[in-house]
Structure 1
Amino acid sequence: MPLAVVTDSTAYLPEGFADRHAVRVVPLTVDVAGELRRDGIDLGPAELAAALGQHKRVTTSRPNPEEFIAVYRSLLDAGADGVLSVHLSRELSGTWESARLAAEEVGPDLVRVVDSRTTVMGLGFAALRAAAAAAGGASGAEVEAAAVEAAANTRSFFVVETLEHLRRGGRIGAAAALLGTALAVKPVLHVDDGRIVPLEKVRTHSRAVARLVDLAVAAAGTSPVELAVHHLAAPDRAAELANQLDERIPQSSGCVVSELGAVIGAHTGPGVLGVVVCPGRL
């Protein structure tokens, strides 16, 4: 049996992708006004958007090491030669640390843990590339390298509807949020060295979407790429954005659309749109 690949729920793989590519997904925990849920299992995007719209407090926490230990041992007991566990940036969550502690318990010679330094489909594409390499009979080092290379070369861009959720999550100050709201600023964000940080600002939603497309086109260049569009409670806008990307980036293998869950969505809020560009093909 080839190396097994594990990731976490912040990869936000489109429905069916995890099963199709034999990727095991470990959910993060979400606290909605004191009620604990599992990201993507007990709490979906619609429930998250509703909770945020009602101004309920939403916080997230990492899986504990025991959860990872149970997953790793079940995969090894099922015959896997080893496990590659690839997770969202340690700058955004303690998930990687929990996975690392679990790997030490199970055996570092059996479990490799990767900090992807990214999240959403930047992480998702890394896990899928690793799974494809494992299915092709690659060694543990080669499977790990496939994940690291995909994550390092992926570019991710987002635009949010309001700065309020970033303020609540401590990502920007109250004064900046108030000023941005008064000026109707739409910040364009990106993932930089493991953190979600501002890239630039635009004044209208249409300009923000156009900017996302231009940034994705520049990141794609002329080589083959894979594309993903993320959103929260904005399916029509996401479909429109995906269509524009397909027109402007013909060398892609097709743009997948995936709705965000609680861990990232709690900080970005409903209406967020994002684009992820990953060079190469599965």
Structure 2
Amino acid sequence: MSITILADSACDLSEHYYNEYNIEMIPLTVHLNEKDYRDSIDISPKTIYDAMREGQTPKTSQASVNQFKEIFTSYAKAEKPLLYIAFSSELSGTYQAAKIVEQEIKEDYPEAQLHIIDSKCASLGLGLVVLEAAKMARQNISFDELIAQTDKNAGRMEHIFTVDNLEYLYRGGRVSKTAALVGGLLNIKPLLHVEGGKLIPLEKIRGTKKVLKRMIEVMDKRGNNLENQIIGISHGDDLPRAQELSKLIQDKFSVKGENIIIEMVGSVIGAHSGPGTLALFFCNK
């Protein structure tokens, strides 16, 4: 029996991937102008970025227990295997909500093939893990094998990213007001990565061009077999800079353009990172 992959909207994949690989998606929620929107369904990232440029501060919330209960129950009743690959538990409560429901479902349906992986990934880093799992699910692979390999893939996913304006990280409580102010005055761009599912600062760099160069250097040091893997780039409404980074990767590592996926950072993550965010995802050594 074929295995279905469930992802949440924080994986930042375009709709055509869900359709092509039969991936189920559960949306997180964005709050803007006193209204609630389902991420990637009712609102576009562009709307969020435009609102933030105008000084608004969107809020976000995790997927609910009821959303998971509906999906998990339908698969358990139909005796269909379901693997949910969750947004990092260090960045959202969505994973915990899913685990609560999983326990309830397995009490009612002890034989249910239902498993949840805390990916410790975000944005297109999560998206690449989801995509690879969906491809494997089409092959003759057991549920346990798929779980083990997906867990391994998630553990090897590098996230290297920068933000254009420290003010947005300040609003979200990620940096101090002083750091945001000084960073803006000195054109300082923070380089961050994800470690253990958490956002960890790597270094501070002065100037946009130097940031791209440094991202390539980190990729060179950490990457493994780059020319033979799918690489992800996500951006906060700044496609030209994402394409510039893509070109640098192709030139440096002999990566084919079709092996680089470029997506916009979705509404939920973008509400915290802001317009101008640039993120790079690849498998490490």
Matched with 2:277 is 272
Give the Cα separation in 2 of the matches to 1:186 and 1:180: 7
> Alpha-carbon deviations, 1:98-130, whole Å to 9, x = none?
111121222274311110011112211221222
Shift in Å at residue 220 of structure 1? 2.1
Give the Cα separation in 1 of the matches to 2:90 and 2:273: 16
Most deviating of 234-243 and 211-220: 211-220
Question: In the alignment, is residue 92 of structure 1 matched against residue 91 of structure 2?
Answer: yes
Contact 1:11–1:88 (8 Å) recurs in 2:
yes
TM-score for the superposition, normalised by structure 1 = 0.93
- Letter paired with 1:33: N
Matched with 2:246 is 242
Shift in Å at residue 76 of structure 1? 4.5
Give the Cα separation in 1 of the matches to 2:20 and 2:78: 18
Most deviating of 86-95 and 127-136: 127-136
Give the Cα separation in 1 of the matches to 2:255 and 2:77: 41
Matched with 1:196 is 199
Matched with 1:55 is 55
Matched with 2:101 is 102
Give the Cα separation in 2 of the matches to 1:61 and 1:216: 32
Give the Cα separation in 1 of the matches to 2:232 and 2:283: 9
Shift in alpha-carbon separation, 1:220–1:251, aligned structure 2, 3 A = farther
> Alpha-carbon deviations, 1:187-238, whole Å to 9, x = none?
0111111011211111000111111122223222345322011001101111
Question: In the alignment, is residue 125 of structure 1 matched against residue 141 of structure 2?
Answer: no
Structure 1 unmatched runs, 5+ = none
Matched with 2:33 is 33
- The percent of aligned pairs where both chains have the same amino acid is 30
SS of match in other structure, 1:92? coil
Shift in Å at residue 145 of structure 1? 1.2
Structure 2 unmatched runs, 5+ = none
Shift in Å at residue 181 of structure 1? 1.6
- Letter paired with 2:91: L
Contact 1:9–1:28 (8 Å) recurs in 2:
yes
Matched with 2:10 is 10
- Letter paired with 1:24: E
Contact 2:233–2:262 (8 Å) recurs in 1:
yes
Shift in Å at residue 15 of structure 1? 4.1
Contact 1:126–1:146 (8 Å) recurs in 2:
no
Give the Cα separation in 2 of the matches to 1:271 and 1:17: 24
Give 1 or 2: higher helix fraction: 2
Give every structure 1 segment of 4 or more consecutive aligned residues whose post-TM-superposition deviation is greater than 6 Å. Answer: none
Most deviating of 99-108 and 205-214: 99-108
- Letter paired with 2:95: W
Question: In the alignment, is residue 147 of structure 1 matched against residue 155 of structure 2?
Answer: no
Matched with 1:134 is 137
Matched with 1:165 is 168
Alignment equivalent of 2:183, drawn from 180, 188, 199 = 180
SS of match in other structure, 1:90? coil
Shift in Å at residue 69 of structure 1? 1.7
Alignment equivalent of 1:227, drawn from 222, 227, 231 = 231
Shift in alpha-carbon separation, 1:79–1:137, aligned structure 2, 3 A = farther
SS of match in other structure, 2:48? helix
- Letter paired with 2:126: L
Shift in alpha-carbon separation, 1:39–1:176, aligned structure 2, 3 A = same
Alignment equivalent of 2:214, drawn from 211, 214, 231 = 211
SS of match in other structure, 1:103? helix
Give the Cα separation in 2 of the matches to 1:161 and 1:145: 37
